[in-house]
Structure 1
C-alpha cells in the first residue's frame, strides 16, 4: 500500500540485533520501498523492490546492513 511510514526499531523483532537503535522511515511507491535509517546524526537512504510480506523488517535490515557496511 502506497504511503509514508515510520517505525521505531523497538517495534521490530530484529531490534535486539541492532547497535544503532533509532528509527527507519520509508515510503512505499507502486514498485519500491525508499527507506531512511537514522542513527544519531547519521542518515542512510536507499531503496528496495516491493513485494515482500515482511517488508518492514526487510527494509530496516537492509538499511542497517548497508549503513554498517555489512553488504
Structure 2
C-alpha cells in the first residue's frame, strides 16, 4: 500500500494524543492494539516515504578476497 505524508502526519497526531485509534486519510478509521504497534506502523510509513522519495537507507558491503599463491 502506498502511504502519503498525510498518513504519517495522522499517525503522529494519533500517537501525540495518547489514543490508539484515529482516522487515516487513505484508509479511514483505524484502531491499534498497542503503542508499540503504532510506533511500528509510523516507522513503516516513514520508510515507505523515504524509499518513494529516493532517499534509501545507506547500506555498505565490504568484500574481501585473498589469493593464495
Query: Would you call these one fold, judging by a TM-score over 0.5?
Result: no
- Structure number with greater CO (CA < 8 Å, separation at least 6) is 2
Alignment TM-score, normalising by the size of structure 1: 0.32
Alignment TM-score, normalising by the size of structure 2: 0.32
Structure with greater strand share of residues? 1
The structure with more radius of gyration: 2
Structure with greater helix share of residues? 2
